[in-house]
Structure 1
């Protein structure tokens, strides 16, 4: 019994069209996690910033400012849904404060070794979402 290749070719071609955007979105989410997610930080001081920025490869050149969010992936993702509100354009603001550490480059050379000043606190965070996934950290601020 011979089977036609037509349906298989159609499924393969559809896969080529559907998979790349999904992979790109997943890659943007993974980059967001690498740059801004740290569920269990150690210290949250200047050494924490210098160590974490180096380990995450955010120091070539030295990134001027970077914020790490200390919560679960699910809670951060929920900002893209019911735990966030429209902010500006495609941005969403969290309905609740998140524990964060912001690492600010102390200046000097943009080449490693990079020295950072840490500031920590609880803040509302603003992120960009694509198809329900966080893909960009915009800002954080202390609100009412």
Structure 2
């Protein structure tokens, strides 16, 4: 009987090691966060960048007023939910170090497409809400250097 448990135990251990990254991909709030706010390697970071990204990410029906794209490594962003972030307010965490960001602001006019955006880029500490160790919301109202 002990001989037959060996392979089963091996499958269980390997399965538990491989599961966490898969669960992160299945988390709908984390996936939405990535869609709305993550762009690893931006091209441009100007007004055209904002207009293209907002359209590609389906943030233009209606035109979203403000949206920030965080550039860099996904693992560094996730780490804000742990050791690389500090509590901020009641339910948020602020990054220990600044991230490269591009903020897109709707320039006004109609809330219907075509949407026009003004880009501003720089580095700043970001404030996020976390759930199950994953970022699920970026607080656009906090701009911390």
Once the two structures are TM-superposed, the CA of residue 142 in structure 1 deviates from its matched residue by: 3.6
Paired residues, what number?
121
What TM-score do you get using the length of structure 1 for normalisation? 0.81
C-alpha separation in 2, matches of 1:80 and 1:141: 18
| Pairing of 1:1-144 with structure 2 (within 5 A) | 26-139=27-140, 140-143=142-145
Unaligned runs of 5+ in 2: 1-22
Counterpart contact for 1:32–1:135, Cα < 8 Å: yes
Counterpart contact for 1:122–1:142, Cα < 8 Å: no
Q: State the superposition RMSD in angstroms.
A: 1.4
C-alpha separation in 2, matches of 1:37 and 1:89: 24
Corresponding residue SS for 1:66: strand
Once the two structures are TM-superposed, the CA of residue 80 in structure 1 deviates from its matched residue by: 0.2
Cα 1:28–1:62 shift into 2, 3 Å:
same
Regions of 4+ moved over 3 Å? none
C-alpha separation in 2, matches of 1:83 and 1:142: 16
Corresponding residue SS for 1:141: coil
